[in-house]
Structure formats: C-alpha cells, structure tokens
Homo-oligomer: A and B are copies of this chain.
Amino acid sequence: MPMPTAPAPRPASAPVAALDIGGTKIAGALVDADGRILARTRRPTPAGEDGESVFGAVGAVLDALATSPAWAVAEAVGIGSAGPVDAARGTVSPVNVPGWRGFPLVERVREHAGGRPVTLVGDGVAMTAAEHWLGAARGHADALGLVVSTGVGGGLVLGGRLHPGPTGNAGHIGHLSVDLDGAPCACGGRGCVERLASGPHIARHALDGGWRPGPDGDASAAAVAEAARAGHPAAVAAFERAARALAAGIAATAHLVEVDIAVIGGGVAGAGEVLFAPLRCALADYATLSFARGLTVVPAATGADAGLLGAAAAARAPR
C-alpha cells in the first residue's frame, strides 16, 4: 500500500469558496488568490427558524456558487461566522440564531461542498484576516483587528500568521474587562469594552447625558456621531468614553502580545475622527510600555466584503 503523503500545496491561483454567516444574512463568494471576487451571492438568514432551515439557506448559497465555472477548481471552503464558534469541534452557536446551538456547520458544509476541506473562524477573526491580507494591516506581522458595531469583536495576527486560537475565537476584545467594578455586561462580566464602546452603548451614554435625536428619531451611534461633529457635549462625551475603553483594550492587547497596529472596522468606525481622535489621545495614556509606544490605530480598509475576504484568507492560512 502507498504511504500517506503530505497533501500537494494548492495552486497559488486556485480560488476558494467563502461564507460570511451573520444574524441577518448569509453571503457567499468564490475568491481568487489575489482577493478578487469571481462570483457572489447572498440569502437572508432565517434566524428565527429551526437549525435545518437555517442550514437550508447556507446550502442555497453554496448551490448558487456551484453554478459558477470557478466552483470546479475551488479547493477549500472558509467560513467566518457570528459567534460563539468552536473550530475545534466544527460547531457554531451564534447568539442571534437560536436554532443553531452546537450546530455541526463544518461537517455539514463539507458534505454539501463535495468533501472540500473547511476552515471555520469567528467573524472578528475573519475581518482581521481580510485586513491582514488586503487591508490596513497588510505587511504587519502582529496586528489586532476590531469590529465595533452592535457588539465589539476582533481577531489577531501574531508572528505573521492569523491566530484564531484553538476554538477560532481569539481576539475577543469586546469582553476584556477594563472597569472591573463597572456595569454588568450581557456576557455576565463587568465593565467589558463592549459595554462601554458598542454602538448601542454609545447611543445610550449620549441619551443619559442629555443628547436627544433629531426630528427623524434616529437614536443610533451614527446619529450621535453627527451630533458630536456638531459639538454636542453629551455626544462628544459618549465617543470619548467609548474611545477610552477601546484604548484600554487595545493597549492591553499590545502589552500582552506585542501588536503594533490596531485596525478598526464596523459601523461605529464610520464615525471617523469623532472616534479616532480621542482614541489616539487615550492610547497614549494606556499603551505606556516602551515596546508598545509605536502602536498605531487606523480605520479598516476592506469594507463590506471584509467577512467574505477574511473567510477566504482563513481557508488559505497555514495552520
């Protein structure tokens, strides 16, 4: 009998299939070795339905991709999913998809995709992989990616490689406690970065400080950002508070694993300098050790396709 041999390296030009699975939509794409999207599709996530129905939408996305000529040469599938994920077991339990609790997504996708190898990471890890491959963290061997939105997620690149951790959840910066006696967080902890810096918490902080939405009733963090740009003190204070929490979390990461760049994506990053200016100031207060002083913070560059590109990057990453 022939001895088992190492798998042949993938041709550099072979595309991979990418899935970006969230609580509202399931996106899929075929992505080539240069990060070009050769085909794409999406379905709404039937988040309130049972697990098989949700997987039906994933299957429909894969079936649509399979109509592309590039599918035949796609050599692997990468999945970035809303968490928690468990890459060690190949399962997902997204908070906003109650029908999936320990759902064996890796095995089901592998079966549906003709036995291709499947890599699963959390959505924050996927975004970070995208920024390292094609975005603002390109060329940085040690980087933190953050997604600041309804929640706060993230991912890490260490020593030039994606660091998903054993279960695919590493980089969960939203649940670092930066205020150990602070307000209870939905995770069960206290004073988490997410509790201070997520979009909904920025809006709530501004409302508590006396800011009020305009005639359109928009009470989102984007509306608070607009008010902050116009100089409304409570809106400014809400972003300053979020910036300090993010700075403490980013500095903690730099002190722990020596990243030299933090890349911030997600809706709240769209606030621009209203967030980034106080964040840079606060970073100087917390990133105090000599080896962390070169740390920079920049906006993400891969935009709405970060999840798909990151899932593709994860599928290609050496493990």
Which A residues form the contact surface with B (CB < 8 A)? 84, 86, 93, 141-142, 156, 158-159, 163, 165-167, 169-173, 175-181, 185, 187-190, 244-245, 248, 251-253, 255-258, 260, 285-286, 288-291
Q: Which 8 A-B pairs have the closest CB atoms?
A: A165-B258, A188-B288, A176-B252, A172-B255, A167-B291, A187-B288, A177-B248, A180-B248
Q: A141-B166, A142-B166, A177-B178 are in contact. List 17 more A-B contacts (CB 8 A).
A: A86-B290, A93-B290, A158-B163, A166-B291, A170-B257, A171-B256, A172-B255, A172-B289, A173-B255, A177-B252, A179-B180, A179-B181, A189-B251, A189-B286, A190-B285, A253-B256, A256-B256
Docked-complex contact B165 and A289, CB < 8 angstroms: no
Using A172-B256, A258-B166 as known contacts, say yes or no to A285 and B141 having CB atoms under 8 A apart: no
With A and B bound together, what is the CA distance between A156 and B257 in angstroms? 8
CA distance A158 to B286 in the complex (A): 24
With A and B bound together, what is the CA distance between A163 and B141 in angstroms? Answer: 13
Question: Are A256 and B178 in contact, CB atoms less than 8 angstroms apart?
Answer: no
A158-B163, A165-B142, A179-B181 given as contacts; is B288 within 8 A of A173 (CB)? no
Inter-chain contacts of A285 with B (CB < 8 A): 188-190
Which chain B residue has the least Cβ–Cβ distance from A252? B176
* Residue of A180, A255, A285, A286 ringed by the most chain B CB atoms within 10 A: A180
A167 touches B258 (CB 8 A): yes
Residue picked from A84, A167, A172, A244, most chain B C-beta under 10 Å: A172
Residue among B170, B180, B181, B291 making CB contact with A256, cutoff 8 Å: B170
